[in-house]
Amino acid sequence: SRLFSQCSGFCLVVCVSVPCFLSVCLVSPDNHVFRGETVTLRCDIQGEGDTGWTNSWYKNNYSIYPYNTYNPYMISSVTQYYSGTYTCSGYRGRDSQSSEISNAVTLTVSGELGL
């Protein structure tokens, strides 16, 4: 039996252009903070139409806040529990667009400020 048949008509190639949205994870005041400080993680979606995004946050590759509007994600009175590697991604529901997962930002929490 034949595995392949010949194309007897014409072939149509369809190219679809899909926009690529990059996510950038930013931390302030710094990647290394002291226990008790406030830390702000921000997920910036880069590309055209950068509004209306819902963010998902990940710590050490586990989802911690899926599909929410925590942007920026603020941690007040941070403890060592929050040390880890954070990433984010975005989803825009009105046109079903998703961003790439962001760069990884490592947050290190140590000691107490002034000790």
Taken in order of first residue, the domains within the chain and their CATH numbers are 22-112 (2.60.40.10)
* pLDDT (0 to 100) of residue 94: 86
Instruction: Write the pLDDT tens digit of every residue in 16-58.
Output: 555 678 889 999 999 999 999 999 999 999 876 667 888 999 9
Residue 6 has pLDDT above 60, yes or no: no
Residue 68 has pLDDT above 70, yes or no: yes
Burial (Cβ within 10 Å: 0-12, 13-18, ≥19) of residue 114: exposed
How far is CA 9 from each of CA 2, 14, 56, rounded to the nearest angstrom? 19, 16, 47
* pLDDT (0 to 100) of residue 21: 87
